[in-house]
Amino acid sequence: MTAKTAAKVTAQRVTASSKELLVPGSKAWKDVAETAVALSPTPLDAQPSAYVRASWADRPHGKTGTVNVSAVVADDALFIRLRWETADPRQSISDNNVYADACAVLFPADGKGAELATMGDEKRPVQAWHWRAGTALPFVVTATGLGTTERAKAHPVSVGAAWEGGSWSVAFRRDLGGKGVPLAAGASVPIGLAVWQGANNERAGIKSHTPDWLTLELPK
């Protein structure tokens, strides 16, 4: 379906199975609306490492300018699919200087109040569902400021990914309710997005992102 451009993403309720929806190119996604979201390079002067600021001073980063977002609710779970173009996919980390493509969906850990630009703070952290090419499982990490991440040892998020026709498609799944970021039917949930382009050696804080929270509307 043709993408719409907006700062709000509306999740649709569908009857497809989790197995189908975790295949991001499956027919289950065919009639689900996409929202085109503009991304910006992360501010270089906000990077906590002087080495990173110096090494990227004359190099462009954040080369992914748009990501298409779809969201559905099915099987008492939320699915979020990200799709973006990349002509030179990097599907694994194969050397110290070879980085994989990646993406993330970010949330205020308590569902509200966290500052996205600073990746939260100790009182109001940010949580991210993070996928990296070449890995079968996603990471769930919590940040309490720029340059801080703590990876969860166990979490309820699953993922499916595929590169086809010049684009990555990545579908995340998490049950509604339960532990983690508050997700409930009818809720308005702040989300942020990030994409790393491995061919450009993007990693950690060097990425494309949404500078401000978007709103994800969940169906009742």
Residue 29 dihedral angles phi and psi, to the nearest 5°: -95, -5
Q: What architecture is domain 3-217?
A: Sandwich (2.60)
**Amino acid identity at 57:** A
Per the CB < 8 A criterion, the answer to whether 209 and 42 are in contact is: yes
**SS3 string of 73-130?**
EECCEEEEEEEEECCCCCCCCCECCECCCEEEEEEECCCCCCCCCCCECCCCEEEEEE
Per-residue pLDDT of the chain (220 residues; tens, 9 = 90+): 444 445 899 999 999 999 999 999 999 999 999 999 999 999 888 888 898 899 888 888 988 999 999 999 998 999 999 999 998 888 876 666 678 999 999 999 987 788 898 898 899 999 999 999 998 899 999 999 888 889 998 899 999 999 999 999 999 999 998 778 999 999 999 999 999 999 899 998 899 999 999 999 999 8
CB 6 within 8 A of CB 191: no
Q: Are 106 and 128 in contact (CB under 8 A)?
A: yes
**In terms of pTM, does the model score above 0.85?**
yes
